[in-house]
Amino acid sequence: MEQSSFDRRKFLGGTAGAVGGAALLAACGSPASNTTPSASVSRPAVAAESGNLSILEWGGYEAAGTKAQTAGMTVAGADYTTKYGTSGLTYTYITNDDQGLQKATSSGPFDIMHPCHENIKDYVDRGLVQPWDPELLASFGDLNPYLVKQGQVDGKQYMIPWDWGYASLTYRTDHVDAADATGWDLLWNPKYKGKVSMWNGASSAFEVAALVLGYPDMDNLTADQISAAKAKLIEQKPNNKFYWDSEYSQMQPAVKSGTVWVAYSWQDTLVSMKSANVPVAFMNPTQGRLSWFCGFMLGAKTENYYHAHDYVESFINEAACVQMTNAYAYGTSNTKVTPDKVTDQALATSLGLGDPHALEGASVHLQSWQANKAAVELAWQEVKSA
Amino acid sequence: MAISTKVTAQRSPGPGRFRPGRGSLAIPPLLFVLVLLLGPIIFIGLFSVGLRSNIPGASVAFTSTNWHDFLFSAGNPFRKRFAYSMEVALAVSILTTIAAFPLAYFLSFVARKHRYTYLLLLLAPFFTSFLLRVIAWQIMLNDNGVVNWLVQAIGLQPHGDPVKWLIYSNFSVGLVLFYSWVPFVALPIFAVLENMDHKLLEAASDLGASRLATFLRVTLPLSLPGVIAGFVFVLIPTTGEFITPLFVGGPNNQLFGNSIQSFFSDSPDWNYGSVLAVTLVAIVLLLMLVFGRYLNTDLRAAPSGGDK
């Protein structure tokens, strides 16, 4: 293993040198000794790449310095934009995981994508991505080994994990009785009819229904369980004011204004509501929270292999991750972000920020790849059309 | 190659030779329609029977499962959504046409001198994008919107208790669709009324008909081509509408167009969505066939019979 990566590094250095005109060719390892497919492909050096990165992203995660970056992330991505400028970066946005996969398949090709754990297999199976070369990422060694392992397929590092968090219900403590806010059942409570908003995310909706119905294997539902979950979600449907798509332009303003009192959300909503002095809580349901982690995947057809690695390094380094955690209250994959680096200590404790084992507990259901995804997808469309 | 042959043929016309008449001018638009309209419909058709897939590496084979499910399975939600959408489209078209008639009548018969100024005012909102206008309605109708603020300020509704059916309801979807289409329906009716022979009205009056009788027996029948054209102008686009319910409709007020949009944007599988899309195209074609003959009426000319 050690030997193989040594060869790969030498080979890549040699390729870059040859293109750049340096006389390193003699030191280059024999290409025949390379076993990893990523290394056997000859690539232009970083200087020969256009640097035009097309990135499939969730809003708010744009690199520092770009016009699109409005949430004040001044560190994440800054190393990259300082070095290469911002003009080469183009963002395409997604609002849910299925849409991300859909766009990656139909409207790409993208150089970098930001899917979550549950979709890694789909991206690989569809040939949309190629493995990263961890040797090109200076901070790779700092990343949480548990997440790193989960980002591998056939031993290759297809996903560089970056952000993780929980999904639960955010509710207005000034309108919702604390006694009602104990579990995911709150979404079904007729008392809050028209004041609830579920996320338009197929697998998440079915995972919530599975937790409420008591199906422990929420990502491996049988056909009968899917149809029971579908009926349960149709039962919940009239309670919704709307199914939300955009976190920032739909869900958060609705919670802020009181249009909606209970919303499926991630923990960053807690932070934005607190800064707006809106009294909310992020529920710890009796059935457990959902949890997720996402990361960067490298486009199979990228012509900016080295730029893409530099870009990702500028997000996974310690300084970027510390800011990310403090800005959104999300966890990150960088283990150097210890709890003492989180500004809000109460938040760090309640959400397990900086705890490398936060996602390994039994009560945090890690959203994973679903074998019956197609059936779940169709069932969700049926719920929405019912 | 083909073009040069035609040019030669045109230069030396002779008996039995191909002479491209003025009809050849229709070839570019015809090609446009074939390639950009018919082509995609054929592709969607192939998707709907499983002969194509948007998922790379997925096996493709003919299957009618999705069609069978949509057409025959008991209580299919998409079929129900389709029926519901047709009802909404029909209701909106009828109400819009009824509302647009007095508007056109006013422009044509009452506001005679300033009618084009008024017409411009009527069309003024359409200088901004449709999407922006729908979002503007969202701001008006929201729980904290302009309308709710007003009804609470003047005491029609207790403070902190907004009127809930104003938005994310059938009402809001209907209202915004109605608002969007009224000017479009008024236009063809206005065009017909403008070109009506006003001497007929004088004749009716001379013969002792009351104003109501004149309207019912002369104006209304003569304006029917415009009324039907206006009705169809609303009905056909509304059957596929999805923007309005997306922004001002709640989970229960989404239309068939939203089901299609959702299949193509959020779901990894286009095949079922294609079944719905083909259905919509078929229905629109059917409506065109039924109403087409009215649309062919030249709105500027007096209806046949008037000249005799």
pLDDT of residue A22: 37
Read off the pLDDT of residues A311-329 as tens digits, 9 standing for 90 and up. 999 999 999 999 999 999 9
For the whole model, what pTM was predicted?
0.83
Same domain, A239 and A378: yes
Q: In Å, how far are B71, B97, B170, B234 from B90, measured between CA atoms?
A: 22, 11, 14, 9
What's the total number of domains in chain A?
2
Give me B254's structure tokens.
């989404």
pLDDT, tens digit, 9 for 90 and up, residues B290-306: 887 776 655 554 444 44
Same domain for A175 and A241, yes or no, is yes
Same domain, A268 and A343: no
**CATH number for the domain that contains residue B106:** 1.10.3720.10
Region B90-117 average pLDDT: 92
Question: Taking 70 as the threshold, does the pLDDT of residue A168 lie above it?
Answer: yes
Closest Cβ opposite residue A381 in set B80, B251, B267:
B267
Q: Is residue B122 part of a domain?
A: yes
Nearest to residue A294, comparing CAs of A333, A265, A247? A333
Residue B216: give the domain boundaries.
86-301
Clarify whether residues A149 and A252 are in a common domain: no
**Residue A113, CB half-sphere, CA atoms under 13 Å: how many?**
34
Domain-embedded: residue A2: no
Q: Provide the domain count of chain B.
A: 1
pLDDT band at B265 (very low <50, low <70, confident <90, very high): confident
Contact A202, A355 (CB under 8 A): no
What is the number of CB-based contacts under 8 A between chain A and chain B?
82
- CB contact (8 A) between residue B259 and residue A241: no
Residue A131: exposure state from Cβ atoms within 10 A (0-12, 13-18, ≥19):
buried
Contact A315, A292 (CB under 8 A): no
Peptide bond into A109 cis (omega under 30): yes
Residue B96: CB atoms within 10 A of its CB come to 27
Measured between CA atoms, how close is B174 to chain A, in angstroms? 17
Please identify which residue in the block is written with the tokens 């017909």. B192
Looking at per-residue pLDDT, the higher value among A27 and A94 belongs to A94
What tokens appear for A126 in the block? 């569809």
* Arithmetic mean of pLDDT over chain A: 88
pLDDT-above-90 percentage for chain B = 55
Q: What pLDDT digit, counting tens, does each position of A93-114 carry?
A: 998 898 999 899 988 899 999 9
Q: Which domain holds residue A376?
A: 165-289+369-385
The DSSP annotation for A75-103 comes to STTHHHHHHH-STTEEEEEESSHHHHHHH
CB contact under 8 A, A377 and B77: no
What's the pLDDT at A37? 46
Q: With a cut of 50, say whether residue B86 has pLDDT above it.
A: yes
On whether residue B240 sits in a domain, the answer given is yes
pLDDT digits (tens, 9 = 90+) for A230-254: 999 999 999 999 999 999 989 999 9
Residues of A in contact with B144 (CB under 8 A): 257-259
Q: Determine which of A53-57, A87-91, B135-139, B263-267 has the lowest per-residue pLDDT on average.
A: B263-267
Specify if A3 maps to a domain.
no
pLDDT at A254: 93
Q: What is the pLDDT of residues B141-157, one digit of tens each?
A: 988 889 999 999 898 88
Closest by CA position to B218, among listed B98, B94, B303: B303
What distance in Å separates residue B250's CA from the closest CA in chain A?
Answer: 5
> pLDDT digit string (tens) for A258-285?
999 999 999 999 999 999 999 999 999 9
H or E element in which residue A125 lies: helix A120-125
Specify if A22 maps to a domain. Answer: no
The reported pLDDT for the residue numbered B18 is 64
Q: How do residues B195-204 score in pLDDT, each as one tens digit? A: 888 889 889 9
- Residue B128 included in any domain: yes
Instruction: Looking at the structure, tell me whether residues A157 and A199 fall in a common domain.
Output: no
* Residue A17 CB partners (closer than 8 Å, separation 6+): A23, A24, A25, A28
* Inside any domain, residue B251: yes
Q: What is the DSSP letter of B73?
A: S
Same domain, A134 and A62: yes
Q: What is the pLDDT averaged over residues A127-135?
A: 96
In a domain, B53, yes or no: no
Q: Kindly tell me if the per-residue pLDDT of A363 is higher than 90.
A: no
* A296 and A208 part of one domain: no
Residue A158 is assigned to a structural domain of this protein = yes
